[in-house]
């Protein structure tokens, strides 16, 4: 059972319950208590001084605190860990007036996490293992029993295990005589069930003795940036090991278009195929070793990726994906021998590749829809996977519509002066003192900052907008009395951390160009949602829930995402985060044939909208190129907050 502790922050009289070992400054952020900080939590700026009035923390001692201060109970919040109930006083030099704080703080809200496992499949009546191992004790041949080995095996399966319509592969026939006699005709047969009910079950492997409890599958998400793999126990549904790594294709282009261009060069397609299989094989090797299983007991592998990644993996020319009318080579692929596409598994292992819908709504999104169960749910759901490209699906069990829009690389750090992917040292959280305009920063890993990740970019833009540091065009209020606002080579920017507080020995700043790129990216996503809703004759009020997929969704602050107009304004309780939905779908397909059978029909029934050819998209896009939108009535909660700030005479966004 997880141990929790209660913290009281004075003089704000805010209380919060946190897990044992939580960082004190993170607890303050969650409680909505502002503590000055600009070094990202490394303890070098010395601005996050607090007084421990009751209870004890570990850490928090620094050369930034004098011996006298330490004697009085002063600690640095960013270096203090919670291990008991606490009463913390935030001194005046580390905070702002509580009344102002109450008005400027919006509780941090991230999406609820939803996971699915084998029990969910069993409860829904969906569990039908696609690959099964059956232990058999066969009668040994003698002078009265001359049945061929294959006939003996097949007959026993039909008679004792009700298995019919069986086929036997040639590799199995070749090894069967020796395997049967190795352990006195005690043998384990691996059966691969057909995707369609009309097909035949194939005996794909035989092993001496009883190995029926050792039956594993691999699920793989082949992303443009990263590749993740899981080793799954097909008996228990448990994930035994998992590992992720950067896609080796990154060296040949960070986005799908640049990789298609590279694939068109002589030898380019072969090279991109080679490096992605090398990455996959490295992951397979690591998870097999980590789980301490025999690679021979891996029975299947399921792969999900976007349309371009899938074609590169299969060594299929992707050049026409980027050329109008944007046609992929195929959206459906037959079962493939994994070794035929270069995967380092036994030759009997079948690779199942998730089908796509179009050139830009690929198998990763279809896998997400299947894994999340959208196609079985009566609730009207908006499903979003946000990255360099944002894929959107709207619908329920009766119908599904989908679209893809190019958001650009802003959410992954691209096009941002000090942007970076989410990694140690990336600024991921931000707050602002509305009196001094000093920042409060937190970085991943609590180290000196070295850049800004996507979730941090969203939060700081939202906070700056609500506090009046920037207006709805993303331009700074240049009259504010702070040295952090400055013009550099004709571009206005706000300094988040001075050079002596960073890892890069340079100031880290957010520029108006950065904000403009973010507005374009969020505008593309929001307008994609609105266009898709309009095309199916519905509005935001009709949505029952929003499902966020991908690594980005796990960290994004929902209120802040709505504040800038990235997400539609909806009750945060209706938003669910499902993690890597592509990997989830691959895992579910590894566990049950039902999803593998349903996916073909679901894919065919998904209506795809090419946004570039949908007239209303550009109108929606232009309207979304503001914070949060040209029509504030689409964001009533934000409208009310801004009106309250104006009524109270606080700084508020200019027009």
Specify the pLDDT at position 552: 67
Instruction: Give the tens place of pLDDT for each residue, 41-86.
Output: 777 777 788 999 999 899 989 888 888 889 989 999 989 999 999 9
Specify the pLDDT at position 113: 43
Identify the residue whose tokens are 């309250």. 644
CATH code given to domain 216-353? 3.30.420.480
Instruction: Give the tens place of pLDDT for each residue, 401-456.
Output: 999 988 777 887 778 999 888 888 899 999 999 889 999 999 988 889 999 998 89
Report the topology of domain 4-95.
Answer: Ubiquitin-like (UB roll) (3.10.20)
What strands lie across the sheet with 350-353, from one edge to the other?
239-246, 226-233, 216-222, 298-305, 350-353, 336-337
Domain 128-208 annotated CATH 3.40.50.300: no
pLDDT, mean over the chain: 88
Q: Smallest Cα–Cα separation from 132: which of 297, 352, 339?
A: 297
Half-sphere exposure at residue 229, Cβ-oriented, CA atoms within 13 angstroms: 27
Average pLDDT estimate for 294-318: 95
Specify the pLDDT at position 247: 87
Instruction: Give the tens place of pLDDT for each residue, 474-521.
Output: 999 999 999 999 999 899 999 999 999 998 878 999 999 999 999 999
CA angle at 562 for the pair 556 and 563, rounded to the nearest 5°: 105
pLDDT exceeds 60 at position 308? yes
CATH code given to domain 370-409+525-641? 3.30.420.40
Q: How far is CA 577 from CA 258, 372, 386, in A?
A: 30, 10, 12
Instruction: Give the tens place of pLDDT for each residue, 110-119.
Output: 444 444 555 6
Instruction: Give the tens place of pLDDT for each residue, 559-617.
Output: 999 999 998 888 888 888 888 899 999 998 898 888 888 888 899 889 999 888 888 99
Q: What percent of the chain has pLDDT over 70?
A: 92
441 phi and psi, to 5 degrees?
A: -115, 150
Instruction: Give the tens place of pLDDT for each residue, 400-413.
Output: 999 998 877 788 77
Whether 370-409+525-641 and 128-208 are alike in CATH topology: the answer is no
Element (H, E) at 231: strand 226-233
Specify the pLDDT at position 39: 67
- As a whole number of angstroms, the distance between CA 310 and CA 222 comes to 8
Tokens coding 165 = 């319509």
**What is the distance between the terminal CA atoms of the chain, rounded to a whole angstrom?**
51
Specify the pLDDT at position 52: 94
Domain spans, the chain: 4-95, 128-208, 216-353, 370-409+525-641, 410-518
């Amino acid at each position: 059972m997880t141990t929790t502790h209660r913290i009281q922050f004075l003089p704000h009289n805010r209380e919060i319950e946190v897990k044992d070992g939580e960082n004190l400054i993170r607890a303050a952020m969650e409680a909505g208590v502002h503590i000055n900080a600009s070094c990202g939590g490394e303890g070098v700026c010395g601005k996050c001084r607090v007084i421990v009035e009751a209870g004890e923390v570990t850490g928090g001692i620094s050369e930034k605190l004098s011996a006298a201060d330490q004697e009085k109970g002063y600690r640095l919040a960013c270096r203090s860990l919670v291990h008991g109930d606490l009463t913390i006083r935030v001194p005046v030099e580390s905070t702002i007036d509580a009344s102002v704080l109450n008005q400027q703080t919006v509780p941090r809200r991230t999406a609820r996490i939803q996971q699915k496992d084998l029990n969910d499949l069993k409860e829904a009546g969906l569990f039908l293992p696609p690959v099964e191992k059956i232990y058999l004790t066969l009668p040994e041949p003698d002078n009265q029993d001359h049945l061929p080995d294959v006939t003996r095996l097949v007959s026993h399966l039909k008679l004792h295990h009700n298995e019919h319509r069986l086929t036997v592969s040639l590799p199995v026939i070749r090894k069967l005589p020796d395997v049967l006699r190795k352990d006195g005709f005690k043998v384990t047969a691996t059966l691969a069930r057909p995707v369609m009910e009309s097909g035949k079950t194939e005996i794909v492997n035989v092993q001496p003795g009883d190995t029926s409890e050792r039956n594993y599958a691999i699920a793989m998400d082949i992303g443009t940036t990263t590749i993740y793999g899981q080793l799954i126990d097909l008996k228990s549904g448990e994930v035994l090991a998992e590992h992720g790594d950067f896609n080796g294709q990154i060296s040949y282009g960070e986005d799908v278009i640049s990789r298609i261009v590279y694939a068109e060069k002589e030898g380019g397609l072969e090279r991109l195929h080679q490096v992605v299989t090398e990455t996959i094989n490295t992951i397979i090797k690591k998870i097999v070793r980590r789980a301490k299983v025999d690679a021979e007991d891996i029975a299947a592998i399921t792969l999900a990726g976007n349309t371009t990644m899938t074609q590169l993996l299969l060594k299929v020319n992707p050049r026409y994906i980027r050329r109008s009318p944007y046609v992929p080579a195929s959206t459906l692929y037959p079962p493939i021998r994994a070794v035929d596409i270069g995967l380092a598994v036994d030759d009997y292992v079948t690779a199942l590749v998730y089908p796509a819908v179009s050139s830009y709504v690929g198998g990763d999104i279809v896998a997400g829809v299947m894994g999340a169960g959208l196609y079985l749910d009566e609730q009207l759901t908006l499903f979003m996977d946000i990255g360099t490209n944002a894929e959107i699906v709207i619908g329920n069990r009766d119908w599904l519509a989908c679209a893809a829009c190019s958001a650009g690389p802003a959410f992954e750090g691209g096009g941002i002066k000090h942007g970076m992917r989410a990694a140690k040292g990336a600024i991921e959280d931000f707050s602002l003192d509305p009196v001094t305009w000093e920042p409060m920063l937190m970085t991943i890993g609590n180290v000196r900052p070295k850049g800004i990740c996507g979730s941090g970019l969203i939060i700081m833009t939202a906070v700056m907008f609500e506090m009046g540091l920037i207006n709805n065009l993303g331009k700074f209020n240049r009259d504010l009395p702070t040295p952090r606002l400055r013009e550099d080579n004709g571009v206005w920017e706000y300094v988040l951390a001075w050079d002596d507080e960073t890892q890069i020995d340079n100031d880290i700043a957010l520029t108006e160009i950065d904000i403009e790129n973010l507005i374009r990216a969020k505008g593309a996503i929001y307008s994609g949602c609105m266009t898709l809703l309009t095309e199916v004759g519905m509005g935001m009020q009709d949505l029952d829930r929003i499902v966020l997929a991908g690594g980005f969704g796990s960290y994004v602050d929902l209120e802040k995402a709505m504040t800038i107009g990235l997400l539609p304004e909806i009750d945060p309780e209706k938003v669910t985060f499902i993690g890597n939905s592509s990997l989830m779908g691959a895992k579910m397909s590894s566990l049950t044939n039902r999803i593998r059978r349903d996916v073909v029909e679901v894919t065919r029934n998904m209506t795809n909208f090419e946004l570039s050819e949908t007239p209303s998209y550009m109108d929606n896009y232009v309207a979304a190129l503001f914070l949060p939108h040209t029509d504030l009535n689409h964001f009533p909660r934000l409208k009310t907050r801004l009106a309250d700030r104006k009524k109270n005479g606080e700084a508020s966004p200019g027009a």
